[in-house]
Amino acid sequence: MPKRDDIESILILGSGPIVIGQACEFDYSGVQACKALRREGYRVILVNSNPATIMTDPDVADATYVEPLQAAFVEKVIAAERPDALLPTLGGQTGLNVGLELAESGVLAQYGVELIGAGVDAIRVAEDRRLFSEAMAEIGLDVAAAVRATSVEEAQAFAQEHGFPLLVRASFTLGGAGSGMAHDQASFDRLVAEGIAASPIGEVQVDESLLGWKEYELEVMRDHADNCVVICSIENLDAMGVHTGDSITVAPAQTLTDVEYQQMRDAAFAVMRRVGVATGGSNVQFAVNPATGRQVVVEMNPRVSRSSALASKATGFPIAKIAALLAVGYTLDEIPNDITRETLAAFEPVIDYVVTKIPRFAFEKFPTADRELTTRMKSVGEVMAIGRTFKESVGKALRSLEDGTIGFTGQAGDLDDDALREALRIPHERRLLDVDAALTRGWDPAEVAQLTGYDPWFVDQLLQIVEIRREVRSCETLRNVDATLLRRAKRVGLSDAVLAAVLHTTEAAVRQRRREQGVVPVFKTVDTCSAEFQAHTPYHYSTYEEETEVEVSGRPTVVILGSGPNRIGQGIEFDYCCVHAVLALREAGFDTVMVNCNPETVSTDYDTADRLYFEPLTLEDVLAVTDVEAAGDLRGVLVQFGGQTPLKLAHALAEAGVPILGTPPEAIDRAEDRGRFGAILDQLGIPQPPGAVARSLDEAVTTAQRIGFPVLVRPSYVLGGRAMEIVYDTDHMHDWLERNAGEGDVLVDKFLESAVEVDVDAVFDGSEVFVGGVMEHIEEAGVHSGDSACVLPPYTLGRGQQHRLRDYTAAIAEALGTRGLINIQYAIRDDVIHVLEANPRASRTTPFVSKATGVPLAKVAARVMTGATLAQLRDEGLLPPVDGITGPEPGHVAVKEAVLPFNRFQGVDTMLGPEMRSTGEVMGIDTDFGVAYAKSQAGTNAMVLPAKGTVFVSIANRDKRAMIFPVKRLVELGFEVMATQGTAETLRRAGVQARLVHKVHEGTPTIVDHIAAGEVDLVLNTPSGSTGTRVDGYEIRTAAVSHGVPCITTLSGILAAIQGIEGLRENKVGVRSLQDYHAELAALRLSTHPH
C-alpha cells in the first residue's frame, strides 16, 4: 500500500538535551525521519529544546520549535501548527512520554491529531511492567517472576518469597533511573524507597534476579501488513545486572545456536505483535540462562533507541528512516535498500564482520560517585568499532575510547591477585583491561569467565590476543618481529601503540616497519548483505585482509575528523560542527570524507559524507585513511570541528606529511601554550589576568602567593576544565596539588571575582573577522563556560564594549594566525576586558550561536579553511552583510542552559565550579529575557521554575546583602520564604518574614526533610568558601536534586530566575518557530544594511 494521503503534516518530537541515557542517537534518528518524511511531501513540524542538534537546523524541518519538551509547550505548538499526526517514537523516552501525556490528556483528540507509529495502548503495555508481564504470559513467553509495589511493605512480602538478590526498577523512568540490584534487606528497602520516589507514578517493580544470565537484544521492525524482520542481534559481553547502555555489546550474537536464535526471533515478533506496535522499530531484550538455555523476555521498547542507532550503524540498515516511512503507510517491500539499490527493505541484514560497542564513562568528573556498574546507567557516551573478528573489533573499540587506553597492554596497574579477582567480579568501567591483565598473568580462562560472567568464547578470544602479544614480546625488539607475526598481531587488533610499548620502541617505528613489510590495512564495506549484492554506499572499515574496496574519485577531497565518543566537555556540539563542515564542502564541490567512531551521531550516517570511515580517531587509524585517500586528489584534513580529539592529532598528522587545512598546528600551539599566548596578548596590549605556568609544586604555591588568592588552577592542555578549581588559600593550594599530582605543568591564574564572563565565537579568514555572536554568561566568571547559562545578545554589555570585543577578537585571531573558527573567552570587570583563553577551533557554543542568529558559522568556517574569503561567502549569500556586532540587535533573546547529570550520581555535589560537568544543553528563545530564561530552565526538565509556592533561601555571608531585593521580589510575587537561622535574621531585618527551619546538624525536621516532604518548590543556595557551610549546602543541594526541586547556586542565576518567574506569571509564554525568528532577523539586517 502506498503512503497515506489523508495526512499532510506531521509533528515530530525530539529528545531534548543530552543526558545520561539519551544522547545524540535521537538526533541521528530524528534527522533521518525528518528528511524521509519531507522527501515524501509531508510538512514536518519539529519540537526539540536542544540547539546542538542537526535536527533543529532550520532546513531539516518545515517548522522548527526550539521549545521545552513538555506537554504544555508542545500543546501550544499543536495549537499554532495544527498538525494532522504526531510521531512520538523518534525522541526517545522523553518524546514517547510527552506523546503519551498529550494523548491521555485529550489534547490530541481536541486538535484532531492522530498518534502514528505506536498507539497509546502499545506504549502502555510496553512501559507498564505488570501489563507487559501479563501480556507475555498470555502469549506463552517466559518472563522473570515479578511484583509491583507502591510501598516498601508490599515489596518485602515478595522478597520473603523469592530471596535475594532481587532487581528493583522504578516504573516509567529513563535509562534505569531509580533501579538497582538488592543483595540484602537493607539495600532492598533503600532501593524500593528511592524507586518509588523516582517513579512519576510512585511505583516499583521487583523482579526475580537474572544476575549472571547472558543478555541479548533483537532490533525488530514491523509494517502495517504485519511483515516482520530482525535488523540486528546484539549479544552483551557483560552479563545481566549491568544496564545494557553500560555494557560492552557485540553484534551479531556470537554464542547462540541457530535453534536458539530462531526461538528468540519468533519470540521478538510475538512480543511486538502482542504489545501492538503497528509499525516501526522496537527493541526486545532477552536473558538466557547459560546452563540450561532457558530464555526469558526482559523488556521491549516500542520506539527507536540507542540500540537501534547502533544496529543501524552496525548493519547499514537505517532503522529510523524506515520506521518513519512505515508510520505513514508504506510497507517494507515498498521501500528500496539505499545501499544495494536493487533490493528492498524487506529482508534481514547479514554482516561479514563483528561490531563491538564500548561505553564511555566520565567518573573522573565525579570522583565521589560509585563506580560499580549496575542496572542504573552511568555512561555518557559510547564508541563502536568494526573488525573482521571480535578480537580486531574489540581492540579497535578500546583505542577509540580516548580515555588514555592504547589497547590491550596486559597491565592492571598495581593490583595484586586478590584485588584483581575482586576487580573481575564487580562490573566496572575498566574490567575488560582487568581481564586482559588476568589472562596475561596466566589465569585459567575458565576462572576468568566464571568471575566476570563473560561467556567463555569471549574470554578465549581475549586470550588469543594475549597469546599473540606474548609472542611479539618474546621477540624483544621490533627487528625480530617478522612480517608474518606482525600481520598476525595486527589481525587480532593490537594497535601500533601497544606493539611499540611491548617492544620498547615508538609508534612511528612500528608503523614504518609495517609499511616496509607490507603489513597495511585494507578497507572493506558495510553493505547489509555480506557482499551478496553490489554496494553503492561507501561506508568502510579497516581490517588486515587481502582486498580493499575503496574507490577514490578524481575530485578534490577533504577529510573531516569527527569528535569520537560523547563525554563531558565534548559532545554533540562538535558532531554538529563536523556535519556542517561536510555539508558545506559537499555543496562547494568537494568530495568529503568523514572519520569517526561514535555510532550515535549524524556524522556517521552513511549518507552524510561522500565516504564514511568508521574508525578510531588515533594517529594510526587516521593515517591509514589518508594513505588510501591520497590515491585521489586529497587536499587535506580538517581538525577544527571535532573538538579536542582531532586537534590533538594535528601535529602528528602534519609531521607525517598530511596537510592540515585552516589554522595551522603552530597557531594551535601559540593559543594553547600559556607563555606564548601571554606574550602575544602583551604585544597586542590586551589585558589578561596575571598568571604563570608553574613547573613544580613549590612554584605553583609561590606563584599563587605572588599574584594573590583566589587563583584559578588547572593542569595545562585540558578540555572541559578537568581538575580546574578556584583556590582560595595556601592550604587549599596544597590540597589541590596533592589531588592532582603528576599531571605535568600547572596553570595558575588570578581569579577575577564577580567578573562578567563572555564567550565570542568568530570566523577569521586571514584578513577579516566575522563575529557570530557574543554570549554573556549568567553565572559569574569561575563557573566553567560549558556549565553556565549564557545569553545572546549580551544583556548587560554596551555597544562600545561589544565593539572592543570584536577588535580584540580580530587582533588575536590575526596574531595567532588562525583560519577558520576561533572561540575566545573574556572576563569583564570594572569595564576592563580580560582575555581568559582562546580556542582556535569550533566551540561548544557554535551551534547555539547559529540557532540564535541564523548564520551557519561552522559551514562558513569550513569554506574559509578550504580557501574562500568572507567577502566571497557574503556574495554567495552564506553570510549576511553584517556580523553579530556590526549588525542590528535581534528582536529576540536566546538563553543557553547547561544540563547536569547530578540525579545519576548520588552523593555528588551539585555546586557549579570551573570543572565542567554538564552533559548537554538546551536553548530558550523568546522576545523577553525572563521568558527565554524560564524556557531554558523548563527545557532541562530538572529545573522547571515554579510560578508560585515556597522558596528556601540559604545564602553565603558575602551574598546576603545582594539577596535582599531579589527575595523581597519573590515575596511580592506571592512566594512563601523558608530560611535557616542566619539568612532568616538578615531577611527579617530587611522586613521579610521567613519561616525558620533547621540546618542539617540542628535536629529534625531539617531542611532536607522539608525538601523530601515536597514542601519546597525552589531552593536558592549560594555556597560559601569555608568548609562548614559547604557541607551543609551540599546536603541541601543533593536533597533538591534527588527530589527534582530546582536549585540555584549563584547570585546571578537567582536574579535571572526571578525574571523568569515574572515571565511565567505574566503568562506571556508563547511559541514561535526558528524559521520565523531567523526570517525576522534577516529582514532587520536587510533594512538596516541594504546591499
Partner 1 sequence: MPALLVLEDGTTFRGEGFGAGGTTFGEVVFNTALSGYQEVVTDPSYRRQLVTMTYPHQGNYGVNRDDAESHTVQASGLIVREVSRTTSNHRSEESLDGYLARHGVVGISEVDTRRLTRRIRSVGAMRAGISTEILDADELVDRVRQSPGMEGADLATGAGTTEPYDAPAEGDARFRVVAYDFGMKRNILRLLTGAGCDVRVVPATTDPDDVLAHEPDGVFLSNGPGDPAAVKHGIAAIGRLLQEQTPLFGICLGHQLLGRAVGAQTYKMTFGHRGANQPVRNLASGQVEVTSHNHGFAVATESLPGDGPFGAVEQTHVNLNDDVNEGLRCRDVPAFSVQYHPEAAPGPHDARYLFADFVSLMEGAR
Write out the residues near partner 1 by the rule CB under 8 A.
225-227, 229, 233, 252-262, 265-266, 290-293, 331-333, 342-344, 346-354, 388-390, 455-457, 460, 524, 529-534, 545-547, 549
Name the minimum Å distance from CB 214 to partner 1.
10
The answer to whether the CB of 31 falls within 8 A of the CB of 80 is: no
User: CA–CA separation, 395 vs 399, rounded Å?
Assistant: 6
Q: What's the rounded Cα separation, in Å, for the pair 69 and 99?
A: 10
Strand partners, 541: 524
Give dist(CA 120, CA 122) in Å, integer: 5
Least distance in angstroms from the C-beta of 546 to partner 1:
4
Please report the sign of the dihedral spanned by the C-alpha atoms of residue 95, residue 100, residue 101, residue 107.
positive
Q: Report how far residue 330's alpha carbon sits from residue 905's, in angstroms, rounded to the nearest whole number.
A: 43
Please report how close the Cβ of residue 345 comes to partner 1 at its closest, in angstroms: 9
Nearer to partner 1, 252 or 914 (CB): 252
**Measured from the CB of residue 440, what is the shortest distance to partner 1 in angstroms?**
18
For every residue of 926-952, DSSP letters joined together read ESSHHHHHHHHHHHHSS-PPPSSSEEE
Indicate the pairing of strand 756-764 with strand 820-829: antiparallel
Q: What SS3 class is residue 820?
A: strand
Instruction: With beta carbons less than 8 A apart as the criterion, state whether 616 and 399 touch.
Output: yes
HSE on the CB side for 170, CA within 13 Å? 23
For partner 1, the closer of residues 164 and 457 by Cβ is 457
* Closest to partner 1 by CB, 396 or 859: 396
Instruction: Please identify, using beta-carbon distances, which residue of 47 and 529 lies nearer to partner 1.
Output: 529
Give the nearer residue to partner 1 in terms of CB position, either 624 or 752: 624
Phi, psi of 888, rounded to the nearest 5 degrees: -75, 155
- Least separation in angstroms between residue 349's CB and partner 1 is 7
Output the smallest distance, CB 391 to partner 1, in A. 9
Instruction: Count CB-CB contacts under 10 A for residue 877.
Output: 7
> Least Å distance between CB 455 and partner 1?
5
CB of 267 to partner 1, least distance (A): 11
Q: Smaller CB distance to partner 1: residue 43 or 224?
A: 224
Residue 48 · residue 30 · CB < 8 Å: yes
Q: Is 321 in contact with 28 (CB distance < 8 Å)?
A: no
Q: Smaller CB distance to partner 1: residue 490 or 1010?
A: 490
Closer of 289 and 505 to partner 1 (Cβ): 289
C-alpha cell at 118: 505506536
Q: Rounded to an integer, what distance in angstroms lies between the CA atom of residue 790 and that of residue 185?
A: 46
Nearer to partner 1, 127 or 527 (CB): 527
> 231 with 304: CB under 8 angstroms?
no
d(Cα 655, Cα 894) in Å, to the nearest integer? 42
Cβ of residue 446: shortest distance to partner 1, in angstroms? Answer: 10
Give min distance, CB of 227 to partner 1, in A. 5
CB 1013 to partner 1: min, Å: 52
- Judged on CB neighbours under 10 Å (0-12, 13-18, 19+), 371 is middle
- Least distance CB 519 / partner 1 (angstroms): 15
* Cis ω for the linkage preceding 1005 (within 30 of 0): yes
Of 344 and 1013, nearer to partner 1 (C-beta) is 344
Residue 176 — left, alpha, or beta (φ > 0 → left; ψ -120 to 50 → alpha)?
Answer: left
Nearer to partner 1, 524 or 580 (CB): 524
Q: Measured from the CB of residue 522, what is the shortest distance to partner 1 in angstroms? A: 9
Alpha-helix runs per DSSP H in 897-1026: 929-940, 960-972, 981-989, 1007-1012
Q: How far is the CB of 525 from partner 1 (least distance, A)?
A: 9
Whether the CB-CB separation of 760 and 874 falls below 8 Å is answered with no
Helix H, strand E, coil C: the string for 650-715 is HHHHHHCCCCECCCCHHHHHHHHCHHHHHHHHHHHCCCCCCEEEECCHHHHHHHHHHHCCCEEEEE
Q: Which residues pair with 942 in a beta bridge?
A: none
Comparison of 360 and 396: residue with beta carbon closer to partner 1: 396
Distance separating alpha carbons of residues 349 and 360, to the nearest angstrom: 27
Burial 33-69, CB ≥16 within 10 A → b, else e: bbbbbbebebbbbbbbbbbbbbbbbbebbbbbbbbbb
Q: Which is nearer to partner 1, 42 or 443 (CB)?
A: 443
Pick between residue 181 and residue 462 the one whose CB is nearest to partner 1.
462
In angstroms, give the least distance from the CB of 285 to partner 1: 19
Distance in Å, CB of 662 to partner 1, minimum: 37
Q: Given the complex with partner 1, which of 393 and 1073 has the nearer CB atom?
A: 393
Give the nearer residue to partner 1 in terms of CB position, either 137 or 344.
Answer: 344
Picking from 304, 281, 286, the residue whose alpha carbon sits closest to that of residue 244 is 286
Cβ proximity to partner 1: between 333 and 682 the closer is 333
Beta strands in 172-319, from DSSP E residues, in sequence order: 180-182, 204-208, 214-222, 228-236, 249-251, 280-288, 295-301
| Least separation in angstroms between CB 343 and partner 1 | 5
Q: In what order do the strands lie in the sheet with 180-182?
A: 146-149, 204-208, 166-170, 180-182
The answer to whether 718 and 749 are in contact (CB under 8 A) is no
Cα–Cα distance, 250 to 243 (Å, whole number): 15
Q: Which is nearer to partner 1, 9 or 343 (CB)?
A: 343
Least separation in angstroms between residue 261's CB and partner 1 is 5
Are the beta carbons of 921 and 50 closer than 8 angstroms? yes
CA 30-323-7 angle, to 5 degrees, is: 85
